Amino acid sequence: MLVDFNLKEQFKVWKRAGKPIPKEYFDLGIAFWLLDPDAGDYSPERVAQQYLQTPFSDSEKTRTQLRAYAEKKLKEYKLEKIFWDMEMPLLEILADMELAGIGIDRGYLRALEKELEKRLETLTKAIYKHAGETFNINSPKQLGEILFQRLKIDTQGVKKTKTGKVSTDIDTLLLIQDRHKIIASLLEYRELFKLLSTYIRPLQELADDQGRVHTHYIQTGTATGRLSSQNPNLQNIPIGSEWATKLRTAFVAEKGYRIAAFDYSQIELRILASLTQDPEMMKAFNENVDIHALTASKVFKVAIAKVTPEMRRLGKTLNFGVVYGMGAMAFAKSSGVSFADARKFITEYFNDFKQIKIWQEEIKAQARTYGYVTNLNGRRRIILGAAGMGREVAEGERAAINMPIQSMNADIMKLAVIRIAKELKKSGWYQKEVRLLLTIHDELLFEINEHIIEEATRIITKAMESVYALRVPIKVTKKIGENWGAYE
C-alpha cells in the first residue's frame, strides 16, 4: 500500500505521465485532519512532532509509525468508514478535476477588463467629487477620515475596528448607504475593484496554453469537511449582480460541449429537517411546500397565499440564520429589522418549529459534555469554548449547531461526486464526454458533450438525489448553457 502525505499531487504527476494509480493508498495528511480537523497544519513535520514527538524523517519507518497511529485512532473515533469510503476515493477524483481545469475566454476577459477599468475611472471621479478632494479609496484609514471626519456621516450602529477606529468594511457601507450619496459609488467601486484584482486579471495569467484554469482543491482546508479551493479560488466566484454574471460568462465550454450546473436545492434546510425531525419542516419538504414562504406565514401569522416577497425574504433569512446559530443581533443586521423585532421573530420561529430548538439544546449539551459534536456519518469536530464563559461560549455553541448540518452537506456532496464518477466510468464518459469541473458547496459544474446531454444529466441528477437517504426528499436543479453565466 502506498502511504505518504499529499498524494493528490503525486497522482497528478503520474496521470500526466500515464502511470497507473495504486489500488490501495493511505494519505497521512487526510487521516490526521479527520482526527483533528481544526489543527490547520497537516504537514509531515508538524504531524510527526505532535504524534510521534520526533522530527519527521522521510523514511518508510516513520510513515509506517504514523499510519499505525492514525489507523488506531480512526478506529477508536469510528472514522474508518469516512476515511476509506469517502475521503480516499475522492482524492483521485479531485486530481482528475484539477487536471481537467475549466475553459475561459481570454478575449472576453480582456474586453471585460477594459470595461471595468473605464467604469472604475468614472466611479473614482464621482467619489472624489462627493468627497471634495482626492484620496486613496483603497485605504481604510483615508476612507474613514473622509466619511466620518470630513463628510461627518452619522456613525450610529457602526462597529469599530480593534484599534478603535470606525470600520469602513462592506457591512458598514451597506448599513450607512442611505446616509450619503458617496456610499453608492463606493459600494460599486468595491465590487468592481475586487472583480478586477481578484479574478479578471489573475484568471488571464493563470490560464494554460489551452485557455483552461486549474484550481487546487484542499481536502483538509475546513473543519466541517467542506472542500476549499485556491490558486485561483473558484468556489467564491461572485453571483447575483450584473457584473458577477458578466464574470461568469467568461467560463466557457469547449466547442461541441455545454456547461451544466447541478445544484442541491435547500440542502442544509433539508438536513436540518432530517436531524431535528421537526414535523412542520418535514411536512413542508415532503409535500413540496415553499419552506421560506411557510416560515414567513407562521411568523407573520398569515396564509401562505398572502405572504409578500418581503415577508418571504425575511423567512429565508430566518431559516438560514437558524442553520448557523444566528442570534437576534446578527439577524437584525442581516434582515434590516430592529433588534426588538428580531428577538420577537426568532421567538416566534422556535414556537412554530419547536423540535429545532430542542435539537439545538441537545447539540450544545453534547458539546459541553464531550467537547465535540458529530454528524450522522460520525464525522467529528472538537468544539472549543462551549463549556467556558462569555463570547467563547456563544461562538462555540454556534459552531456546534452548524457542524452537523454543514458537514453533512459536505459529505453528501462528496458521496455524490464519487457515485457520479463511478456511473460515468461504466459508459466510458468519465472526464471525456462528461468532465467534472468544479465542486462549489451545493453545486457541481460539468462540461458535457452536447450529443449526450439528456442521458448524462439523467445519470448525474439520479446519482445526486439518491446517494444519501434523508428523512425528506433531496432535490437537484440543473442549468445548461454555453457558459457559466448564461443558461437556457
In whole angstroms, what separates CA 10 from the centre of its chain? 26
Alpha carbon 275 to its chain's center: 21
Mean per-residue pLDDT, 180-191: 94
CA distance 286 to 469: 13
| Other CB atoms within 10 A of residue 372 CB | 17
Nearest partner of 447 among 97, 206, 202, 203, judged by Cα: 97
- pLDDT higher than threshold 90 for residue 329: no
The C-alpha atoms of residue 481 and residue 488 are separated, in whole angstroms, by 6
Task: Give the residue among 218, 213, 228, 204 at the shortest CA–CA distance from 114.
Answer: 204
Burial readout 161-176 (b: 16 or more C-beta within 10 A, e: otherwise): eeeeebbbeeebbebb
- In 3-state terms the chain splits into helix, strand, coil percentages (rounded to 5) of 55, 10, 30
For residue 389, is pLDDT > 60? Answer: no
pLDDT at 110 over 60: yes
Residue 192 reports pLDDT greater than 70:
yes
Give tens-digit pLDDT for 45-79: 999 999 999 999 889 999 999 999 999 999 999 99
Task: Tell me how far the alpha carbon of residue 212 is from its chain's centroid.
Answer: 23
Q: What is the mean pLDDT of residues 147-155?
A: 90
pLDDT in tens, 419-475: 999 999 999 999 999 999 999 989 999 999 999 999 999 999 999 999 999 999 999
Tens digits of residue pLDDT in 353-377: 999 999 999 999 999 999 999 999 9
Longest dimension (CA), the chain: 69
Question: Which residues pair with residue 217 across a beta bridge?
Answer: 229
pLDDT at 245: 93
Alpha helices, H only, 371-442 = 391-427
Classify 347 as helix, strand or coil.
helix
Phi then psi dihedrals of residue 57, to 5 deg: -120, 125
Spatial contact of 261 and 255, defined as CB atoms under 8 Å apart? no
Which of 155-169, 271-285, 302-316, 460-474 has the weakest average pLDDT? Answer: 155-169
Cell numbers that stand for 42 in this block: 497537516
* End-to-end Cα distance, the chain: 47
Q: 216-238 pLDDT, tens per residue?
A: 999 999 999 999 999 999 999 98
Complete domains list, the chain, with CATH: 2-101 (3.30.420.10), 104-213 (1.20.1060.10), 242-267+410-481 (3.30.70.370), 269-408 (1.10.150.20)
